[in-house]
A and B are shown apart, each in its own frame.
Chain A
Amino acid sequence: MSFLNYLVSGLSLGSIYAIIALGYTMVYGIAKMLNFAHGDVIMIGGYMCFFAVQRFNLPPVLGVIIAMLACTLLGIIIERLAYKPLRSAPSLAVLITAIGVSYFLQNAAQLLWSSNPKVFKSVVGNGVLTIGGEGGLIVSHVALLTVVVCVIIMVGLTLFVNKTKMGKAMRAVSEDKGAAQLMGIDVNRTISITFAIGSGLAAIAGVLLCSAYPTLQPTTGSMPGIKAFTAAVFGGIGSIPGAFLGGILLGVIENLAKAYISTQLSDAIVFGVLIVVLLVKPAGLLGKAVREKV
């Protein structure tokens, strides 16, 4: 039974990675940029929910909504101020700007809320669900919620991208910006909306991450951000099902490696698996290999 327990906690961690990776992958697919500040938006989302629920005693649902609104707004502001002026700049310049934004958010958080870790109370309490009596499978409510939310988000996003007019515009922009513009698509607006959605998802991920791992500090988002970025690449960056699959696999591998091989070496194992996958399938698990045209 312990294997199943590890598997379940791996799935829950993987779901958090998947939600973050979805944000990464959408932004990458459309704006072709690695948004290094994504992990820090997660952290801001965590703090927003923390203050709403634990300082102002608002109900958790409202806390999540406030976090989402704040992060969406933050995402739009960051995009407008820092990334939009660089639309035609080389990708490395955009990458460094994103790193600058990440530094900015971390240090602003440190100034506003100090670097002392805050204890985040789970939004659904600390209850557990036991299946199979004594010694059976133990699933915490947070883990259950995380997996369910992740699946909902993934299905919702897939439908959004494939069925709505905005989703169609997104796919067009990701395929060919110039051609999309000629077809009358407002490219700048599409990119802004993508950023808004990605940041909103980051807020949800932040709340779930802090519910499962209850310490909140200005650097909370950076490691999960990098792991989720890895997950997005793992699944094939730019692909929504790929980000989902990559996130889940990464979480499961990390947890099983921690349980059965070595706690200290688990990160090395995760990255090792990533390298092997990329060497076998250079575009990631579900990524499309783009053929070079001469």
Chain B
Amino acid sequence: MKKMKNLTKAQKSSSLTYAVVIVAFAIMFALKTSGSLSSKMTGMLVPICAYIVMAVSLNLVVGIMGDLSLGHAGFMSVGAFAGTIAIVSMQYNGVESAGLRLVVGIIVGAIAGAIIGFLIGIPVLRLNGDYLAIVTLAFAEIIKVLIQNMYLDLDENGFHFSMVENTNTTNLETARLIIEGPMGIRGITKISTFVAGFILVMVVLIVIFHFMSSRTGRAVMSIRDNRIAAESVGIPIFKYKITTFTLSAAMAGAAGVLFANNYSTLISAKFNIDTSILVLVFVVLGGQGNMLGSIIAATALTILPEILRGFSDYRMLIYAIILIAVMLISNNSQLKAAFDGLLIKLKLKKAPDEEEGGKA
């Protein structure tokens, strides 16, 4: 107990986050191995992990850096394709171990995400506010369209790449068609596992919490709070921002690989503006800068449409209403007071000033 008191606020929040993630994983893993999870829920475990990584990585940009990005799915897409290409070609060359392939794939995806994030960050981070948002959106759309027009084959002579048609291999019997334009990558072996997802989430959390207490992290937060003041004490804004943005893109890339290898097909149209917005919703509902909030929101909002399945056709309508209601209640003081009063009346809540963010 005495030791707990010596911890700083940030350390407490990170320990709490680790604890929640580990406990949640242990419970879900036990449920899964005992077979008491429905097949629908089991199938959602890996996507939930991928969305958690996405939400946490976008929270780094939106919450810690204070810039609005509407193109996070673009980095996920780049990572997913680069990582899956690596995985498929390793398989083609006879790498047996699925675990090794996945680890290498995720690393390749993260590197690809980082490279693209760095390149896009150079022009984008010179803009501010809504302009930054629209340009990230534009880049994500460009990435989507470009990948839709890519053709990549692999045969014994190596890779063949084309932006026009799928005619670049000479050897159709032995070649592996990797990317087939709008049809994307087909025939993926589903090697992502819940354990891999959990490990990725933990690694990303450790990196983020260390980042937040590092020199760069503190500098970026000072830029968020007051850019002019930060600049006037000599903080190189662009340098710190691009570091953060690149790190975030790398994490999104890794999440993409995890996500992609949970399905047998990967198409670029999946990573459109809707996916970017979905992740942004996780971040805002969970609370900007609050990693645990992002994790809870990503999990809750991924499961929510499944829970609402009983309402069949009305499912997405109810989802929309819940989304609007949560935003109104958590941001309007009158509605919030009324909602708190209701909770106290229903004896669901005791202290009037308790936090209630993150629960959808």
Contacts and interface: CB of A to CB of B under 8 A. Distances in A.
Contacts of B148: 264
B323 A100 contact: yes
A278 B131 contact: yes
Contacts of B313: 111
A111 B142 contact: no
Interface in A238-282: 262, 264-265, 267-268, 271-272, 274-275, 278-279, 282
Nearest to B313: A111
A111 B317 contact: yes
A28 B320 CA distance: 23
Given A92-B68, A100-B323, A103-B323, A268 B145 contact: yes
Given A82-B324, A100-B324, A265 B145 contact: yes
B316 interface: yes
A89 B328 CA distance: 9
B138 A104 contact: no
Given A85-B335, A101-B324, A233-B134, A268 B127 contact: no
A271 B141 contact: yes
Contact of A97 (B228, B273, B288, B327): B327
Taking chain A's interface residues, is the majority helix, strand, or loop, or is none over half, making it mixed?
helix
Interface in B93-145: 123, 126-128, 130-131, 133-135, 137-139, 141-142, 145
Given A99-B277, A282-B127, A275 B138 contact: yes
A264 B145 contact: yes
A103 B316 contact: yes
A101 B327 CA distance: 11
Contacts, number: 118
A268 B280 CA distance: 23
Given A104-B317, A271-B139, A278 B332 contact: no
Given A101-B324, A103-B316, A107-B320, A96 B284 contact: yes
Interface residues of A, number: 42
Contacts of A93: 284, 327, 330-331
A103 B319 contact: yes
A230 interface: yes
20 contacts: A34-B130, A92-B68, A92-B284, A99-B281, A100-B327, A103-B316, A103-B323, A107-B319, A111-B314, A230-B134, A267-B141, A267-B145, A274-B134, A275-B138, A275-B139, A278-B127, A279-B126, A279-B127, A284-B131, A294-B228
Interface of B: 62, 68, 123, 126-128, 130-131, 133-135, 137-139, 141-142, 145-146, 148-149, 228, 273, 277, 280-281, 284-285, 288, 313-314, 316-317, 319-321, 323-324, 327-328, 330-332, 334-335
